[in-house]
Structure 1
Amino acid sequence: MSMQDRTTNRMLYSLKVAGAQTASALGNKLGVTSVAVRQMLARLHEDGLVGFEDSRESVGRPKRFWHLTDAGNAQFPDNHAGLTADLLASVSAVFGDAGLDQLISHREKTTLNQYRAALEPIASLEEKVQHLAEIRSAEGYMAEVSRDAGGDLVLIENHCPICVAAKACQKLCRSELEVFQAALGPNVEVKRFEHILTGARRCAYRIVEKHNEDRQLAMKL
């Protein structure tokens, strides 16, 4: 693989993880000149992998923000999602909704057991969430952990390898949220506030210890 190909792959990865960016921001992040970045973006645009939107944030020329297209997102692993969607449709057709629910329930229990076994030995919530992100990244979700402005933990998944399957069966997404909640324990609340299936660039979950939330409420009262 040539240096240019490696830089192009890093550019696609950066757009996937960080979202829409200007050519200048990409150049600074990748350590290449703005001219080189614009040339690569032009080629990616010709290939249909990136698009752009012009935004006027202040007086002067509008800034051009580049983002991945559906074809660009498809460059990342999808875990044979098309086949999975077909299989789910077949299960529903042959066994009905009850059979599909049973299949999803079995997957949920298996996943939950794996996550619990990995997370239970860990004491702190932050370390649990960090390890969960590592597990999810290994499964293709490109997960990371941050804190929001209020200091709450946020689990971010920049890619959904089962997105096509989840679109065909949204019970899969509900199942994953329930697995996170159960794996992290009864004293933790998990809320999804960004969702790929509703048009967001990524899925993001706010994770809060319930006793901390109760204590903060009591202090306000």
Structure 2
Amino acid sequence: MNNNIPENERAIWILKNEGEKTLKELAETLGVTTEGARFQLLKLSKDGYVKSESRAKGRGRPQQFWSLTQKGHAKFPDSHSELTLRLINKIKENLGEDTLTELISSTGQDNLQNYRTAIPETASLKERIEKLAELRNKEGYMATYEQKEDGNYLLIENHCPICAAATLCQGFCATELNTFQSVLGPNTKVERVDHILAGARRCAYLIQEK
């Protein structure tokens, strides 16, 4: 965990990166007592950053699961969202959808070139995914990756710093998926399995070696 995170925001950071948690799970991750975690959650709930839902998990009494509200997600910046939305609308109005599509494609090509420069062609698939996650993390996507038991990989982006723009024009998302496929090579298959714009808490990409 980033040591620069203020004490009163650590729970928000954990829920953003790891998804919903029970009180006990969050207390363990925070390294505090359940009462200490409860105090933090109640304060954050009062401020509108987190919410709880009572749900049965197996046998026994229902448990409270805590997650972020929209206000909680908004604690993580959407890069220059207001200006970006205005620019997108102006391009649509004055130059048309085709020009906007060309601009998004051109930006995707720039990103692809940057990634290819940073990721050696001789790198293994795991090394390429690791470097791609590192680059995306630096761009504000709170990106990580993991290897699944079946040997496939999952590239995870816990935040989308261009969410407002992507909501208005989903060409951004399509371009990103194509960029990942290109930079990871023709011997891989990249599939988006979680999508923030579809209501998921994160974007996640299943990467399989052909």
TM-score by shorter chain over 0.5 = yes
Q: What is residue 35 of structure 1 aligned with on the other side?
A: 35
More deviation in 145-154 or 71-80?
145-154
Q: What is residue 46 of structure 2 aligned with on the other side?
A: 46
Per-residue CA deviation, residues 140-199 of structure 1 (Å, 9 max, x unaligned), is 000111122422011010111111110000010000000111111112211111111111
Query: Aligned-pair distance for 1:58?
Result: 3.4
Query: 2 CA distance for matches of 1:166 and 1:35?
Result: 40
Q: What is residue 174 of structure 1 aligned with on the other side?
A: 174
Letter in 2 for 1:112: L
Question: Which aligned pairs between 1:104-123 and structure 2 lie closer than 5 A?
Answer: 104-123=104-123
Query: 1 CA distance for matches of 2:125 and 2:117?
Result: 15
After superposition, the Cα gap between the structure-2 partners of 1:23 and 1:99, relative to the gap in structure 1 and judged at 3 Å, is same
Q: Is 1:155 matched up with 2:161?
A: no
Consecutive unaligned residues in structure 2, runs of 5 or more: none
* Bigger radius of gyration among the two: 1
After superposition, the Cα gap between the structure-2 partners of 1:98 and 1:34, relative to the gap in structure 1 and judged at 3 Å, is same
Q: What is residue 127 of structure 1 aligned with on the other side?
A: 127
Question: Contact (CA 8 Å) 1:129, 1:155: kept in 2 or not?
Answer: yes
Query: Aligned-pair distance for 1:121?
Result: 4.4
CA RMSD of aligned residues (A): 1.5
More deviation in 7-16 or 160-169?
7-16
Q: Is 1:194 matched up with 2:198?
A: no
TM-score, normalising length: structure 1: 0.89
Q: What is residue 100 of structure 1 aligned with on the other side?
A: 100
Q: What is residue 58 of structure 1 aligned with on the other side?
A: 58
Query: 1 CA distance for matches of 2:64 and 2:126?
Result: 37
Q: What is residue 138 of structure 2 aligned with on the other side?
A: 138
Q: Name the SS for the 2:156 alignment partner.
A: strand
Q: Is 1:86 matched up with 2:86?
A: yes
Q: Percent identity?
A: 45
TM-score, normalising length: structure 2: 0.94
Query: Aligned-pair distance for 1:89?
Result: 1.4
Runs of 4+ aligned structure 1 residues displaced above 2 Å come to 5-8, 58-61
Query: 2 CA distance for matches of 1:196 and 1:77?
Result: 15
Query: 1 CA distance for matches of 2:82 and 2:202?
Result: 20
Q: Is 1:205 matched up with 2:205?
A: yes
Query: 2 CA distance for matches of 1:29 and 1:55?
Result: 21
Query: 2 CA distance for matches of 1:117 and 1:40?
Result: 44
Letter in 2 for 1:148: K
Per-residue CA deviation, residues 60-83 of structure 1 (Å, 9 max, x unaligned), is 321100000010001012111232
Query: 2 CA distance for matches of 1:25 and 1:122?
Result: 41
